[in-house]
Amino acid sequence: MFGEENNHYLYDLNHNYLSIKEDGLGITYQKYKTNSNFQCISEVPLDNAVATDNYAKKFTLMSFKENSSISCLSNIIKKFINFIPQIFSNQATIKSKDETAELVFQNLDINVGQDNAKYHLPIINQNTIGYASERDFYLINLRNNTIKYFAWIAKGFEETIHKVSIADAKKMHFIFYIKRFLGSHRNFNYYIRLIDCSGKKAVVLKEIQTYVDGNKDTFIEYEVIKNKIALFEGTIKRTDPRRKISILDSGFNESSYPPFENFFLNYKEKLFIDFYTEHPALPFSIIGGEESDKILILDESLKFFPFIKLYDNLAYHYFSPSGRWLISQTSQYPHRSKFFIFPISERYPFYLGSPIFSGLRSNGLIDPNNAAWTTNPESFVFADLPAPSLDFFASGDELFRIVLKNGEKLHDTIVNLDLKKNEKFFNKQRNFLLQYDLSN
């Protein structure tokens, strides 16, 4: 079954490995009708909460409560507003559809620029989160009640921000991926800028510029991998000798990361990389290609296993901050998309346990900037697309939440059950791994 030429996916998502209902797993989900379209939901360094700047056109904390009172967070937001009673006039509560939980909105009177946020960063530090709009960038410190607004990161109306990443959180250095149109919708410049946002003004430290000829399908892209920056250049043609990879450090200086460079050299003619998602601690990553998503495993000697296909229809992947869970979304047009939960453990041959269907279906693919994790309890929050649209950049007015209560205890229970119930299946995976010799 596993590893055969014509059937070599890691999992068959139509097979019932584990069931929330039948196996009594402590996983629940909630739906909220919000009457407000969301386009950017971010993680925050607060328990059981996420944030957005799209609800009521203000920066808003969204916190969840189950059968208990909720703090008004006045110690965090009191300096943002004129007086404490205004908290309650700016607060709205919505019950989940099954009325088992409530979602509490708390609007903070913060001016975050004219454009709504489109891209959010992971939590920068225990105090700070960051957003980018099409041209601007802002940092919000939820502990000392300050906001830093940086206008015109993208210079002029010809430029727009298409991606933002953390280069060095301590130094407040960030990477901005910017497109500049050159009078034609097919010809433009790409800029990858390293910008220092530690002061009052944004300072461009270094810049990489590439002219992109739309008629020749040239491109430049980057991914942050193990605190390194992998820069991809070339064309979408696999056999084009101009396809290359460069490794930079967080200061945009030449560097190296042998396992990934070796991986790229071996597979650049076989795989066009759409995205790269790495686990926060364990030595494995998920790579999106045009055929299917694959697992890349790096061992302690910095050698790599050839990638293994995860499943043909998985589209987006979200590791939890704790590293205990992976949530993946299927892409099955024209059918509704499904969400699967994978437990993660070193006890599994490929680190990933059996897929568990969450019970949730969405109208289309969820923009990764429209989804976030919470802590205490761990939960995954996202906004659905408005039915029947399958527009990737559309926004939805329904908020969903997959809840994994008692995270560590629940995780250990599921892993033990999974390894016992599917013992023969995981033994096949182990035998498959033994086929690879990493000594060469």
Q: What is the pLDDT of residues 334-392, one digit of tens each?
A: 567 888 999 999 999 889 899 899 888 877 777 788 899 999 889 999 887 655 444 44
Question: Do 148 and 201 touch, CB atoms closer than 8 A?
Answer: no
Please state the pTM of the whole predicted model: 0.82
Cα-to-chain-centroid distance, residue 422:
29
Nearest to 46 by CA among 86, 76, 81: 76
- Residues in the chain with pLDDT values less than 50: 1-7, 68-89, 388-394, 438-440
d(CA 330, CA 11): 13
Sheet of 293-297, strand order: 275-278, 284-288, 293-297, 308-311
Pair of tokens at residue 8: 């070599």
Question: Do 307 and 294 touch, CB atoms closer than 8 A?
Answer: yes
Hey, what amino acid is at 400?
Answer: F
Hey, CA dihedral for 331, 335, 336, 341, is it positive or negative?
A: negative
- Cβ count near 440 (within 10 Å): 4
- The residue to which tokens 């709504």 are assigned: 116
Which whole-number Å values give the CA distances from 381 to 42, 202, 278, 370, in the listed order?
9, 31, 20, 9
Helix (H) or strand (E) holding 328: strand 325-330
Looking at residue 434, the DSSP 8-state letter turns out to be: T
pLDDT of residue 433: 74
pLDDT of residue 422: 93
Hey, what amino acid is at 231?
Answer: L
Question: Do 123 and 114 touch, CB atoms closer than 8 A?
Answer: no
Beta strands in 67-182 (DSSP E): 91-95, 102-108, 119-120, 128-132, 137-141, 146-150, 159-168, 173-181
Pair of tokens at residue 240: 């084009």
- Cβ count near 119 (within 10 Å): 23
Pair of tokens at residue 338: 């499904």
Which DSSP string do the residues of 39-58 spell out, in sequence order?
Answer: S-EEE-SSTTEEEES-GGGS
pLDDT of residue 187: 72
- Domains contained in the chain, CATH given: 27-433 (2.130.10)
